[in-house]
Structure 1
Amino acid sequence: MSDVNPIKTRRDGAILEIILDRPKANAIDLATSRIMGEVFQTFRDDPDLRVAILTGGGDKFFCPGWDLKAAADGDAVDGNYGVGGFGGLQELRDMNKPVIAAVNGIACGGGLELALSADIILAADHASFALPEIRSGTVADAASIKLPKRIPYHIAMELLLTGRWFDVDEAHKWGLVNEILPSEQLMDRAWDMARLLASGPPLVYAAIKEVVRDAEDQKFQDAMNHITQRQLRSVDVLYSSEDQMEGARAFAEKRDPVWQGK
């Protein structure tokens, strides 16, 4: 573990575990958000790192979002969150590596928005969720953009408009989380998933993530044109890569490919 506080990290090969550990509830203030941005930026830019796991310290809270006590003491809600915006992840440009959120407890407000910024969400069986910003007289901005695209529109609008709590079974029902795990198995499963992804082709992952982002608000043919005309950087790199040739050779030779990320 690193001694960075309130963010702890553990690196094992190509995997980086990022732990938001800020008792009592892992709430994020401006300083914490800036540190998280630096950590995620370092992960993004380190060619030897391929997968990140994000979780919370303890077993009660993943993250409740913005630190309202810090805000009451003068931490501006619209202050400088640092690179990547709130929590360092949801606005970080060119994040073309897989991120797994291991939700180990309460994920509400900005904490749920942070989980939504990951590519895969695993959740402990006692996890719970809410977007309570409505009760504080403000808007869950990132969730208002993302949630109606992830789950049925009317369910997303109900959750945004009421701010009600919902449990992990409901979250799984609507496809908001990938898997529900007993709490004592959550991190083992997250690491198993991370190892699987770390063994895969990083250039393909990058292309997938960029294509998904580019296609989000585009017509199908326009998005396809961007791919076939190699207008997306990650796709262009992939199509000219040694890894793509290695994939073809490995298939022809009936062996597992050895991915170099180049």
Structure 2
Amino acid sequence: MAEVSAETRSPAKTLVESHLEGGVLTLTLANPPANALSIAMMEALKGALDRAREDERVAVIVLGAAGKVFSAGHDLKEMTAHRADADRGRAFFARTMALCSSLMQAIVRHPRPVIAAVDGVATAAGCQLVASCDLAVASERARFATPGVNIGLFCSTPMVALSRNVARKHAMEMLLTGEMIDAHTALSFGLVNRVVAPQALNRTVMDFAQTIASKSPLTLKIGKEAFYAQAEMGLAEAYEYAARVMVENMMARDAEEGIGAFIEKRQPQWRGE
């Protein structure tokens, strides 16, 4: 039987719905129509991710959203309200950006692979959220933009995730024009892995997730951590680091079991060690 829990801002409002089944934890942004990344939404999502780190039942995380908008980014009404503060909102803006940066890094540094399932519009920090995930599957009706430049607010923090996922000129095109791109353009840019019909999105994402969940959890953790670490290094340093990781990985019981199973032509029995 599937287990269901929820992150709530108050008893009356569920912001992030959580559903665990077959090793796949689905986290759903549940504050349509905008699914804005307010302080409360970001805290709820980060809390769910943090708990998943300690839950050995979780092999893969899927991040989705309710409604027609995946996420419109930061809650501009919430931020604007703080312009009435004595410091014109500076402290609140700093808190918002620090929490957002912490949330995005929590996804990248999470020991479980995170897959974005995008069936709507993802703009600004919402686009950043998609770019921060390890994989992304979009429906044909998904659209993406970093439109801050249109309102005098360059998408500087979304730029960090975007520029690490797409070619430099594609990133600059999105950041400088603020124009919306469709799902197939996002695929050609490298922002998403696959584009499917809306009715096939859930099935495609679950197939993806279950394929990954069938692998050794230890190997996935080692590999994800190493991928992002080496990407920040020079070539020689990256090879030295990756070689050390390979040696340590070879010493793991799961590697011994996996290689043995391959040689013996049988299914491996993962122990996560």
TM-score, length basis structure 1? 0.90
- Asked if the contact 1:131–1:163 (Cα under 8 Å) also holds between the matched residues in 2, the reply is yes
- Asked if the contact 1:8–1:18 (Cα under 8 Å) also holds between the matched residues in 2, the reply is yes
Deviation at 1:94, TM superposition (A): 3.3
* 1:39-86 alpha-carbon deviations (Å, 9 max, x no partner): 01111222221100001112x11111101111122382321578xx32
Higher helix share: 2
Q: Which residue number in structure 1 is paired with residue 60 of structure 2? A: 51
**In the alignment, is residue 65 of structure 1 matched against residue 73 of structure 2?**
yes
**In the alignment, is residue 7 of structure 1 matched against residue 16 of structure 2?**
yes
Deviation at 1:88, TM superposition (A): 6.1
Deviation at 1:181, TM superposition (A): 1.4
The runs of 5 or more residues in structure 2 that have no matched partner are 8-13, 83-88
Q: 2-side partners of 1:117 and 1:66: how far apart? A: 15
Ranges of 4+ aligned residues in structure 1 off by more than 4 Å: none
Q: Which residue number in structure 1 is paired with residue 131 of structure 2? A: 116
Q: 1-side partners of 2:206 and 2:214: how far apart? A: 12
Change (3 A) 1:213 1:196: same
Which of residues 94, 111, 119 in structure 1 aligns to 2:109? 94
Change (3 A) 1:37 1:15: same
2:188 alignment partner AA: K
* 1:78-110 alpha-carbon deviations (Å, 9 max, x no partner): 21578xx32864121731211100001000000
Deviation at 1:3, TM superposition (A): 4.3
Deviation at 1:146, TM superposition (A): 3.1
TM-score, length basis structure 2? 0.86
- Asked if the contact 1:122–1:178 (Cα under 8 Å) also holds between the matched residues in 2, the reply is yes
- Asked if the contact 2:230–2:241 (Cα under 8 Å) also holds between the matched residues in 1, the reply is no
Q: Secondary structure at 2:104's aligned position in 1?
A: coil
User: Equivalent pairs: percent with the same residue?
Assistant: 29
Compare 66-75 and 205-214 and name the one that shifted more. 66-75
Deviation at 1:171, TM superposition (A): 0.8
- Asked if the contact 2:16–2:45 (Cα under 8 Å) also holds between the matched residues in 1, the reply is yes
Note the aligned Cα RMSD (angstroms): 2.0
Q: 1-side partners of 2:129 and 2:75: how far apart? A: 14
Which of residues 31, 36, 61 in structure 1 aligns to 2:45? 36
